[in-house]
Homo-oligomer: A and B are copies of this chain.
Amino acid sequence: MYSFNNDYSEGAHPRILETMIHTNLEQNNGYSMDSHTAHAIALIKKEIGREDADIHCIVGGTQTNALVIDAALRPHQAVICACTGHINVHETGAIEATGHKVIAMESPDGKVTTEMIQKALDWHSDEHMVQPKMVYISNTTEIGTQYSKAELETLSQYCRQHGLYLFMDGARLAAALTSPINDLTAADIARLTDVFYFGGTKNGALFGEALVILHPDLKSDFRFLIKQHGAMLAKGWLLGIQFETLFTDGLYYELGSHANAMAAILKKGIEDLGYTFTSDSHSNQLFPIFPDHVIDELAKDFLFSANGRIDETHSSVRLVTSWATKESAVHEFLQKLGALTV
């Protein structure tokens, strides 16, 4: 049984593990006040060309999203996102638990547009309604799509004109930045958003998201919020070690590239067999439509998740590749799919 279920099914990239082994008996200051974290932060600042950024390494994505939104918004303020946004559907109301409404807008491709934001602003006109103050986007999105530079420029400009913070969830930022259709750099993202993160969990770390805060208003007292959210890791250098490894010699991008390359092979193979997809993805998540009996057969050898019923006899599934995906497994999948396809 081989798993294409997600991009966090294996441990860490061996280089990360090695650094952890070598440093295991070092005595380090706790709570991310250690030299590894300082080094990781320096590397990330260099990567984005922004010495003024505040950078914090956090254990997980849901935690990071709740933290950022809680820190940024006053009690009556709300965050706009696509209806498919992770904060809207897959975080068990973590944002609402901090007191804030998620304004979820219909979106065919998982992306947010200025039209959607304008609509949300139009609907929220006075003090009887929440006040939209932040826009949350994911790159890549939850359905594998991604933002072009032009799209992000437009969003950014719009948000700045309307006093909205722009927050990019980068849980799969490595996949986005190394996608063949990408034209954004990390520096662009730092320039165009107010806060974003480099996801580690889904790109070869044991865990960890490197949060980059650009907007001065969002920086203040952030460590208090981290602690209050139970997100301040005692042995914080474990996060530092992982990000200093990922941002040394381009490992972060190398791992994202591998995941995308595996997905590209998978995608071409599936297309060649005549199947279509529910989402136009050029990254490490694919959403092919298969006949139900084909899915049943594939499920005997491969782990993946159901995504939705298409018609009486067809469904879509989600296939995810990662830094650890073996090319041989991809070929085995395609071979089996070929055999099942008449």
Residues in chain A within 8 A of chain B (CB atoms): 2-3, 5-6, 8-12, 14, 17, 20-21, 23-31, 59-67, 70-71, 74-76, 78, 89-94, 96-102, 123, 127-131, 201-202, 206-207, 221, 223-235, 238, 303, 324
Shortest CB distance A245–B (Å): 14
- Copies of this chain in the oligomer: 4
- If A99-B99, A100-B96 touch, whether A14 touches B24 (CB-CB below 8 Å) is yes
- B-side contacts of A235, CB under 8 Å: 8, 11, 201, 206-207
Within 8 Å by CB of A66, from B11, B66, B98, B230, lies B230
In contact, A27 and B8 (Cβ under 8 angstroms): no
Q: Please, which residue of chain B has its CB at the minimum distance from the CB of A70?
A: B75
Complex Cα–Cα for A76 and B71 (A):
9
- Describe A's contact surface by its main secondary structure: loop
Within 8 Å by CB of A129, from B30, B74, B90, lies B90
In contact, B27 and A10 (Cβ under 8 angstroms): yes
- If A11-B24, A63-B231, A75-B71 touch, whether A96 touches B96 (CB-CB below 8 Å) is yes
Q: Please, which residue of chain B has its CB at the minimum distance from the CB of A237?
A: B11
- B-side contacts of A238, CB under 8 Å: 11, 206-207
- B-side contacts of A3, CB under 8 Å: 27
In contact, A76 and B128 (Cβ under 8 angstroms): no
In contact, B93 and A228 (Cβ under 8 angstroms): yes
- B-side contacts of A21, CB under 8 Å: 17, 21
Q: Which 7 A-B pairs have the closest CB atoms?
A: A63-B230, A76-B224, A11-B24, A127-B223, A93-B130, A92-B227, A92-B228
- B-side contacts of A17, CB under 8 Å: 20-21, 24
Shortest CB distance A320–B (Å): 11
- B-side contacts of A102, CB under 8 Å: 101
In contact, B11 and A20 (Cβ under 8 angstroms): yes
In contact, A224 and B60 (Cβ under 8 angstroms): no
Complex Cα–Cα for A62 and B130 (A):
14
- B-side contacts of A23, CB under 8 Å: 11
In contact, A234 and B221 (Cβ under 8 angstroms): no
- B-side contacts of A234, CB under 8 Å: 6, 8, 60-61, 201-202, 207
Q: Beyond the given A76-B227, A94-B228, please list 20 additional residue pairs across the A-B interface where CB-CB is below 8 A.
A: A9-B27, A11-B24, A14-B24, A31-B128, A67-B230, A75-B225, A76-B92, A76-B225, A78-B96, A90-B128, A92-B228, A93-B99, A93-B130, A94-B227, A97-B229, A127-B227, A127-B232, A201-B235, A206-B238, A207-B233
